[in-house]
Amino acid sequence: MPCMRTNLVLNDELLAEALRIHGGGSKRAVVEAALRTFVEVKTAERRRRSYRRRVRQLAERLQRIRLRESPSELLRADRDRLSSTTSRC
């Protein structure tokens, strides 16, 4: 993996807390773990926004669908059809 050398000015207390929580290791390891976590969180947020938008679009499309019969009538007919096929056995 290519590395990019950089200098960072970090809050000493925050870095010490991150090192403690990370369970030791180097400052580099802590910063890399923080960057990975940041990328994962932002990717998940983007995926959730996309999912919400797709669900909203689907709901809008479903509202435009008109059935010839009401859902209760469809369920009743389906239930009647199933009961008539099982009673023949």
| Residue 46 C-alpha from the chain's centroid | 8
Q: What is the pLDDT of residue 75?
A: 87
Distance between CA atoms of residues 70 and 89, nearest Å: 30
Stretch (H or E) spanning 30: helix 27-64
pLDDT > 90: percent of the chain: 43
pTM of the model: 0.56
Give, in order, the Cα–Cα distances in Å from 56 to each of 59, 60, 61, 84.
Answer: 5, 6, 9, 39
Type of residue at 63? Q
pLDDT value of residue 87: 61
pLDDT, tens digit, 9 for 90 and up, residues 19-59: 999 987 899 999 999 999 999 999 999 998 898 888 889 88
Burial class of 73 by CB neighbour count within 10 A (0 to 12, 13 to 18, 19+): exposed
pLDDT at 41: 97
